[in-house]
Amino acid sequence: MTEGTPRAPFGARLHSAIAARGNLCVGIDPHPVLLEAWGLGVDAAGVREFSRRSLEAFGDLVPAVKPQVAFFEEHGSAGFAVLEELLGSITESGALSVADAKRGDIGSTMAGYARAWLGADSPLACDALTVSPYLGVGSLAAAFDTASENGRGLFVLARTSNPEAGGLQGAGGPTGTVAQSVVDEVGRRNAASDPGVPGSFGVVVGATVGDPPRLDSLSGPVLMPGVGEQGGTLADVRRIAGPALPHTLVNVSRHVLRAGPDVDAMRSVARALAETYRFVGPA
């Protein structure tokens, strides 16, 4: 994108990236245990090297890369500097960046988060951001607006696979759960998207949940963690995604990262998974 040229909507860019590279999204999660297993320091320097090797392994293979913000944030300003660098490098690799920050607040505070992660000139700007709607989907208005203005996207938590989530997200019964209300509201915000191309606002639904919300009216992308070491299977992805399957990003992290620190070993695992989780033909 040249300076001054408007960025295409995130949904359109994701559609192109999936057509070219398949549906696998790989996380970069520099957890202290993994840093130690790789022989790296549990510090910002270790996180930088971990991120560099990870991106070298799969940045050019997959449509999206998802840094887990917490593992950068815990190292303070030095960790955020590494994250800024990584977000730029993801763009250079041709992949889209999904910052897994799960931000969610109200009013001017949410607007501040939106400017930080979705603003036109922010050093932390990502292609898409994970956000939490459990102060009400409407509380995320600033994030929806800022993302739209700058060609970026959101993945809104809807039905997550952690065991603590079921009581809240599944409340309300099988046809009117909290999770379903989140999906339906996000879908309304995608109503103007072009047929065949997802809107820029998606949801997060775990691959291991037995009571997923319906995604037929989402008209947007799905970020689906929980595959691989967490127990989710290809059959689960197909069952849960349904008509949203072509626009679903299947997120895998530890299954790839545990093949490190060898770049070629990680690349081999990522390549095999990318072939497994390809639901559309090459562009």
CB 208 within 8 A of CB 235: no
**Share of residues in the chain with pLDDT > 70 (%):** 96
pLDDT for 171 equals 87
Does position 218 have pLDDT exceeding 60, yes or no? yes
Tens digits of residue pLDDT in 224-258? 999 988 889 999 999 999 999 999 999 999 999 99
- Would you say residue 5 lies in a domain? no
The pTM assigned to this predicted structure is 0.95
Q: Find the domain containing 164 and state its range.
A: 10-276
Question: What stretch of H or E contains 128?
Answer: strand 128-131
66 catalytic, yes or no?
Answer: no
Our measurement of the distance from residue 161's CA atom to the centroid of its chain's CA atoms, rounded to an integer in Å, reads 15
Cα–Cα distance, 249 to 221 (Å, whole number): 7
Q: Is position 4 within any domain?
A: no
CATH code of the domain containing 44: 3.20.20.70
pLDDT, residue 176, reads: 87
Mean pLDDT value of segment 181-203: 91
What is the 3 state secondary structure string of 44-56? HHHHHHHHHHHHH
Question: What's the pLDDT band for 174 if we cut at 50, 70, 90?
Answer: low
In a domain, 116, yes or no: yes
Cα atoms in the 13 Å half-sphere on the side-chain side of 222:
31
CA distances from 67 to 3, 30, 110, 124, 200 (A): 26, 9, 21, 12, 19
> Pick the catalytic residue: 7, 31, 52, 102?
102
Provide the domain count of the chain. Answer: 1
For residue 1, tell me if it sits in a domain: no
Share of the chain above pLDDT 90, in %: 87
- Asked if residue 244 is part of any domain, the answer here is yes
Model pLDDT for residues 57-110, shown as the tens digit of each residue: 999 999 999 999 999 999 999 999 999 999 999 999 999 999 999 999 999 999
Helices (H), the chain: 10-21, 32-37, 44-58, 70-73, 76-93, 107-118, 141-149, 166-169, 178-189, 234-241, 254-257, 263-276
Residue 124 to residues 87, 103, 173, 193, Cα–Cα distance (Å): 7, 13, 39, 26
Q: Which two tokens stand for residue 62?
A: 């997959």
Residue 168's pLDDT is what? 80
Q: Residue 165 has what pLDDT?
A: 80
